[in-house]
Amino acid sequence: MGNKTEIAVFGGGCFWCGEAVFERLRGIEKVTSGYAEHAEVIRVEYDPKVISYEQLLSVFFSTHDPTTLNRQGNDVGTQYRSAIFYASEEQKQKAERFIQKLQEENPPAGGENPIVTEVAPLGNFYEAESYHQQYYENNKQAPYCQLVIDPKIQKLQKQYSHLLK
């Protein structure tokens, strides 16, 4: 074994989307859909020697909208909020620095659309029911997958081809 994996937990709306995106990245050992602090999240097990936490943050922020409070597209409710649940003080600092940098690079015009991503300690993680796992892989023909997830994957392939498996 020897490989030391780390855990990252992200809430970016529906966990089906996050799972489909993150499992395409190099260095990702496993992606599990679940719930943390009543939000839909993905628990990403990754090898930091292959992909950095900052790279994960970069993909996370560019494949969901971090400026909409408690919603992603048509999915509305606090369970769809944009959130990073950190597993260590180091992750907390990296996440906060990353958000600060994003805000400085793209300041919200006239105070509109600031990043509302919550950065909070990871409490309990509950794995979602089995039919939620690998949802995209098993349901590619479903309208939700075609309308919502496919564009995210296309964006991922275009912007992050260097990080793909």
Which residue numbers are catalytic?
14
* Among 113, 88, 86, residue whose Cα is nearest residue 102: 113
- Partners of residue 24 on adjacent β-strands: none
Distance CA 123, CA 15 (A): 17
Spatial distance between the Cα atoms of 56 and 33, rounded to a whole number of angstroms: 16
Sign of CA dihedral 106, 109, 113, 119: positive
Name the residue with tokens 């990353």: 98
Q: How far is CA 17 from CA 11, 77, 99, in A?
A: 10, 16, 21
Q: How many CB atoms lie within 10 A of CB 78?
A: 13
- CA-based nearest residue to 50, from 141, 137, 164, 131: 164
